[in-house]
């Protein structure tokens, strides 16, 4: 696979395309769900299905947790956000499978990298959001 597409799903979906031959990111951005789908479909048409794979952070791989120390309102909001992220991840994975695109699911981690550290380890000099960095790290050095 020459290209890897990293996706960190959510209301603000991190999206990264890494060129393994050139060892550089060719695209880093934060998209909505539909634009992420469009980007995958466009990339499939542009480079061909056998030249890339999608790596997606899938929160469905995490076991559920129950935190009784927070108030009910806070728990409800967190649950709604997690539920939305889980659904977006499932739909993105299903889309890739239906399109015959190889997809790898990765369990989410709590580790987030700031812009300076991200630049140091990847050599990427452009600006990008935390969501885009999270997506990029899914495909970095694979």
Burial of 108: CB neighbours in 10 Å, binned 0-12, 13-18, 19+: middle
Q: Which residues constitute the domain of residue 15?
A: 3-139
CATH number reported for the structural domain that contains residue 125 in this entry? 3.30.420.10
The predicted pLDDT at position 77 comes to 47
pLDDT band at 84 (very low <50, low <70, confident <90, very high): confident
Count of structural domains within the chain:
1
pLDDT band at 80 (very low <50, low <70, confident <90, very high): very low
CA dihedral 119, 82, 63, 9 (to 10 degrees): -40
């Amino acid at each position: 696979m020459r290209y890897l597409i990293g996706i960190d799903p959510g209301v603000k979906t991190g999206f990264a395309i890494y060129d393994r031959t050139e060892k550089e990111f060719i695209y880093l951005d934060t998209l909505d769900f539909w634009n992420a789908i469009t980007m995958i479909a466009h990339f499939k048409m542009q480079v061909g299905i056998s030249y890339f794979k999608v790596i997606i952070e899938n929160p469905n791989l995490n076991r559920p947790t129950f935190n009784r120390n927070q108030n009910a309102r806070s728990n409800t909001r967190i649950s709604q956000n997690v539920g939305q992220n889980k659904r977006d991840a499932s739909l993105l994975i299903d889309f890739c499978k239906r399109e015959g695109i190889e997809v790898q699911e990765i369990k989410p981690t709590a580790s987030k990298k700031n812009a300076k550290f991200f630049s140091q380890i990847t050599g990427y000099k452009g600006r990008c959001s935390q969501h885009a960095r999270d997506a990029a790290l899914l495909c970095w050095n694979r």
